[in-house]
Chains A and B, each alone.
Chain A
């Protein structure tokens, strides 16, 4: 038995097929609305939109190389307080991983959401996406898709974001339904994989028919992952060398103005208000003077490195590598590289991988009677 399905080409291109597929899903009685990247009427931006009228899916554009927000946050908004309806969401792999992390933290619910995951082709940063639009005089999602799948550069002027270039998890494994792109000819219809019972039911209901797994796919994906992993490790090495003392870390973060955009954009940073913006860090005026006295000079605003290290400690184990922190940074601090590098180490320390499974409790919420004895004592 195969869990693969196929929907034949209905004429037109891949995007049209996808839209058609999404419409049939939204047409199901069990789906009240669909969260999907959609072109804004101005055509200069693609944003997640909650679509309830199927006809409006004609503007859906999940292939667009735009990634302004991590939609896991939107799902949190929709489900955190309890949602009495079922929705579908078209998500990138990193969004799904973030969603799973948020479910563990009771910031999202998994039950009301049917997740349709797209094989991820990567995206531009917000600024680069604008350049891409200009270069192509409009949304050229299909072309982008073709270029990425064929290994060609999608743009002459801009590169896709660093997070995507080093992303070794381009397959949306936590989805109910995977919409496959890698290893599948663009001229064929849609290949869909049911990953859960629920996904299978939906695909059966919309009349998709069972199919053999796309032959090339496994091989294409593996070599992509290999390539990306190499890239990733290279970035880790460079980044580690760039921050291996507190002094260098200061340099790395010297552009930071304590705007906290990174944490607002971060899907894992779920705090309603960051502790660094609460009264805990609203120091007594005299305190600043004392600090200044002690070291001779005090950088203002204060607590910058403190903030970033704390965020690494707090959210490192939940980091899914989506790159939104860097995307949000007004001063172009390469935060993604830093976060991913540290997160990779901390997650490995606990044999944990953010977003891998909803059944894995976050590392700091559990403990064993006997573990990590090597860190106890003075090592002598």
Chain B
């Protein structure tokens, strides 16, 4: 019998908001799937498109970029820059069959531990529905 597909999600979370929320989810013992691997960045505005492309080519089934709500960014507007970049990446990656659902941008504030956990749950469910990223087992680098 085939094992159930367990997606791998790489999440770039900003130090100030979403990382705090993720931590809060942890300390509040909110259960969320362990499929997500957090990479803390100072600001979503520093997430280079290369990181996201790399994650997909390495086989990540989904990538989440999550930071402060507009107006909340510790660095004033890094999140707004990130939003444009994500718009661009979604456009490019979808050409190559990387579904837009695999690349997500969310704003999750520091006290939104529950929202963080819910987001991860929902994302895992969505990715399970669309199946694994084709790069996972292919020799594309």
A interface residues, Cβ below 8 angstroms from B: 240, 243-250, 275, 291, 295-299, 302-306, 309-310, 312-314, 316-317, 341-342, 345-346, 349-350, 363-364, 366-372, 375-380
Chain B interface size, as a band, is 35 or more
Asked if A346 contacts B88 (CB within 8 A), the reply is yes
Q: B55 CB to closest chain A CB, in angstroms? A: 11
Asked if B141 contacts A291 (CB within 8 A), the reply is yes
Secondary structure dominating the interface of A: helix
B interface residues, Cβ below 8 angstroms from A: 49-50, 53-54, 57, 70-71, 77, 80-81, 83-93, 95-98, 100-101, 104-107, 119, 122-123, 126, 134-135, 137-141
**With A and B bound together, what is the CA distance between A336 and B100 in angstroms?**
24
Asked if B105 contacts A375 (CB within 8 A), the reply is yes
**With A and B bound together, what is the CA distance between A24 and B87 in angstroms?**
49
Q: Which residues from chain A contact B85 at a C-beta distance below 8 Å?
A: 364
In the A-B complex, the 6 residue pairs with the closest CB atoms: A245-B97, A367-B80, A313-B49, A302-B141, A349-B91, A372-B87
Q: Which residues from chain B contact A341 at a C-beta distance below 8 Å?
A: 95
Partner of A306, one of B54, B92, B100: B54
Q: Which residues from chain A contact B104 at a C-beta distance below 8 Å?
A: 377-378
Give A380's nearest chain B residue, CB to CB.
Answer: B122
**With A and B bound together, what is the CA distance between A255 and B49 in angstroms?**
25
Asked if B88 contacts A372 (CB within 8 A), the reply is no
Asked if A376 contacts B95 (CB within 8 A), the reply is no
Partner of B84, one of A240, A314, A367, A377: A367
Which among A299, A309, A312, A379 has the greatest number of chain B C-beta atoms within 10 A? A309
Which among A275, A314, A345, A378 has the greatest number of chain B C-beta atoms within 10 A? A378
Give A295's nearest chain B residue, CB to CB.
Answer: B139
